[in-house]
Amino acid sequence: MTSKSQYPVWLECASCGHTIPFTRPTKACAQCGGEWLDARYDYDAVRELWPDALSQRPFNMWRYRELLPLRDDAHIVTMGEGGTPLLHATNLGLMLGCPHIYFKDERQGPTGSFKDRQASLAISVMKEHGITEAIVASTGNVAISYSAYSALAGIKMWTFLTSLVPSEKMREVALYGSEVIKVTTTYDQTKKVAADFAARKGIFLDRGIRGISAREGMKTVAFEMAEQLPRLIGTGDTPWRTPDWYFQAVSGGMGPVGVWKAYQEMLLLGLVDRMPKLACIQVAGCAPIVNSFNKGLEEAEPVLNPQTRVITIATGTPGPAYGYLTRVVREHGGAFEAVTDDETFRAMHVMAKLDGISMEPAAAVAFAGVFKLLSKGVIKRDEVIVVNCSGHTFPVEKHLLGDEWAQTVEVPAEASAPGRHPTEGLLGSLGQIDDRVQRIAIIEDDPKARLLLRRILQTRGEYHIFEAADGIAGLEMVRREHPDIILLDLMIPGIDGFAVLEALKSDEHVADVPVIVISAKELTADERARLSGQIDMLMQKGDFTDEDLLEEILKRAS
């Protein structure tokens, strides 16, 4: 099955440096038995080609072909993976006071998660090595993605899944024609069962992070980010650009390990001038990397009994990623952080409500990590943050929305009787929905900030919103509309917020309307004194969440 090699690839042992050409699956170094082998390429040749040659290529992950461990293009198994957009988290950034939060929209891969990069490469390499049957253990997304690509490549796939994987994901795996083996235990035990089965049957076992394909495939996220960032925030001294932070939800650590290697290669090639800081976020009910790092352990202490609903990243034994990532974070900065299931679901909900991005809980873990590290002051508000939005929407879980996610309209029986025009009865019924409406006035000159406030209020669906962009218009609006509450910015053109407030309080018709001041700057003691007794609440821009604001409004405008 070997064919002429278009692209040379070597395997280098991380322990002893022994190097061999990569021509077949190799588990360990022949010289020292070390199991961590790194792919190496002809970097001098690549330096000649990149970045110029790339401008001629389509924007998908195979544009980085020279730094992927496949020797012959003829074996590429592709469905258009990679090339996902790098998007600006507009409203989230406004709410948090961070102008530079971007996210890599990996939901847009062929099977809806960033595992498609790994799968496309892994299945291509299997094809190149003449493998026609393979085994993979998974918490869901790897099984889905490998199954899709192996269907295309004509490879029989055995998938071993922990029985905790939601049945929707399992059915998708089955749909692609893979064998689905549910193992009634944790993911770590499932991996062992899969390895035993592979050994017994003599079938090729995908080694996950211990193999080359997974890590090398994940590099392409970083190459793309580095190429995309200059278009969003301008170029520096190098053609491509490194963010200050890369955020990812982590289980086995394939992503951050691959991303780190990619930046090392880009640095070597002169495409970027520095490394990013890695923020590895785990879910608190299964956070072996975070906990072990905090305890200063050399080896990760496994979590034997994961307690989380976020099954996609419930890896209790992180394996070699632990040593690798802790070294990176110790030497270069970065962070390990854990977030609870509740914080995760909240982040998921916020991104959907504010920026229209619906992701699976595992991806939301990374966003919850942004909230947490911001509030801890670990990341600065003006830093450039890229979050891996790693997976697609999942059928929305019940507990995420609570009980009041829909309103039922009772239509009287006669309204739907045959032959009768139903409109009248329906309109009457819809009146029920309007009962709770409150009237809110926003006086704020920044259209983006107005949009964010409006968006936060809209998600409750019960408000009538009036807007004004300066002090004079704001005063007129309040006198005309008699709102239940006023949201007031201080730095507005014409007469400023302080003057608006004085005018309001000296007008008996509107003096008792509660006012929440939303300020962009820290106030001086003098300014605070001017506000005291006049306003109901002072909120700092970038320092409150949508829930905080809604709570304040509910407290006052009833």
Ligand X SMILES: *Cc1c(COP(=O)(O)O)cnc(C)c1O
Chain contacts with Zn ion (rule: CB under 5 A): 13, 15-16, 18, 29, 31-32, 34
Shortest distance, position 364 Cβ to ligand X, whole Å: 9
Pick what 13 binds: Zn ion, ligand X, none; C-beta below 5 to 8 Å, kind-dependent: Zn ion
CB of 256 to ligand X, least distance (A): 6
- Contact partner at residue 252 from ligand X, Zn ion, none, CB < 5 to 8 Å by partner kind: ligand X
Nearer to Zn ion, 13 or 289 (CB): 13
What are the strands of the beta sheet with 37-40, ordered from one edge? 19-21, 10-13, 37-40
Q: What minimum distance in Å lies between the beta carbon of 436 and ligand X?
A: 37
Q: Which of 444, 427, 437 is nearest to 464 (CA)?
A: 437
In this structure, are residues 45 and 66 in contact, taking their beta carbons and an 8 Å threshold? yes
Those residues whose C-beta lies under 8 Å from the C-beta of residue 233, and which sit 6 or more positions away, are: 100, 241, 384
- We find the least distance from the C-beta atom of residue 36 to Zn ion, in angstroms, to be 9
- Side chain identity, residue 397: E
> Which one, 183 or 362, has the nearer CB to ligand X?
362
Shortest distance in whole angstroms from residue 140 CB to ligand X: 7
Partner whose footprint covers residue 254, from ligand X, Zn ion, none (CB < 5 to 8 Å by kind)? ligand X
Is the Cβ of residue 212 or residue 475 nearer to ligand X in the bound state? 212
Residue number with CB closer to Zn ion (37 or 101): 37
- 548 contact partners, CB below 8 Å, separation of at least 6: 539
DSSP string for 175-192: HTT-EEEEESS-HHHHHH
- Residue closer to Zn ion by CB (options 14, 181) is 14
The total of other beta-carbon atoms located within 10 Å of residue 219's CB is 27
Q: Choose between 118 and 238: whose C-beta lies nearer to ligand X.
A: 118
Spatial CA neighbour of 280 closest among 196, 406, 373: 373
List the structure tokens of 178.
């893979």
> Residue 105 binds which one of Zn ion, ligand X, none, with CB within 5 to 8 A depending on kind?
none
- Residue 138 CB contacts under 8 Å (≥ 6 apart), including other chains: 144, 146, 159, 160, 161, 165
* CA terminus-to-terminus distance, the chain: 75
- Residue 199 binds which of Zn ion, ligand X, none (CB < 5-8 A, kind-dependent): none
In the complex, what is the shortest distance from the CB of residue 141 to ligand X, in angstroms, rounded to a whole number?
4
Closest Cα partner for 287 from 358, 348, 371, 343?
Answer: 343
**What is the DSSP-derived secondary structure letter of residue 523?**
P
Which residue type occupies 373? L
Residue that is written with structure tokens 């990619």 in the block: 262
User: Which one of Zn ion, ligand X, none is in contact with 390 (Cβ closer than 5 to 8 A by kind)?
Assistant: ligand X
What, of Zn ion, ligand X, none, does residue 29 touch, CB below 5 to 8 Å by kind?
A: Zn ion
Give the span between the Cα atoms of 151 and 88, in whole angstroms. 35
Interacting residue ranges for ligand X, rule: CB under 6 A: 113, 115, 141, 249-255, 312-313, 360, 362-363, 390-391
Looking at residue 209, the DSSP 8-state letter turns out to be G
Residue 250, contacted partner among Zn ion, ligand X, none, CB below 5-8 A by kind: ligand X
Q: Taking Cα atoms as reference points, which of 119, 50, 61 lies closest to residue 265?
A: 50
Closer of 134 and 218 to ligand X (Cβ): 218
Binding-site partner at residue 319 among Zn ion, ligand X, none, CB < 5 to 8 Å by type: none
Residue number with CB closer to ligand X (123 or 254): 254
Tell the residue number behind the tokens 């690839």, with chain if given.
9
Can you tell me whether residue 111 is helix, strand or coil? Answer: coil
- Least distance (Å) from Zn ion to the CB of residue 10? 13
Contacts of 26 (CB under 8 A, 6+ apart): 11, 20, 37
Comparison of 29 and 92: residue with beta carbon closer to Zn ion: 29
Name the minimum Å distance from CB 437 to ligand X: 39
At closest approach, how far in Å is the CB of 29 from ligand X?
A: 23
- Residue in this structure with the two tokens 């990590």, named with its chain if needed: 369
Residue 196 CA to residue 464 CA, distance in Å, equals 63
Q: Which does 101 bind (CB under 5 to 8 A by kind): Zn ion, ligand X, none?
A: none
Helical axes 321-332 vs 254-268, angle rounded to 10°: 50
Q: How far is the CB of 31 from Zn ion (least distance, A)?
A: 5
Which of ligand X, Zn ion, none has residue 224 at its interface (CB below 5 to 8 Å by kind)? none
- Residue nearer to Zn ion on the CB measure, 20 or 426: 20
Q: How many CB atoms lie within 10 A of CB 533?
A: 7
Rounded to the nearest whole angstrom, what is the least distance from the CB of residue 27 to Zn ion in the complex? Answer: 12
The CA distance from 354 to 95, in Å, is 9
Which residue, 39 or 164, has its beta carbon nearer to Zn ion?
A: 39
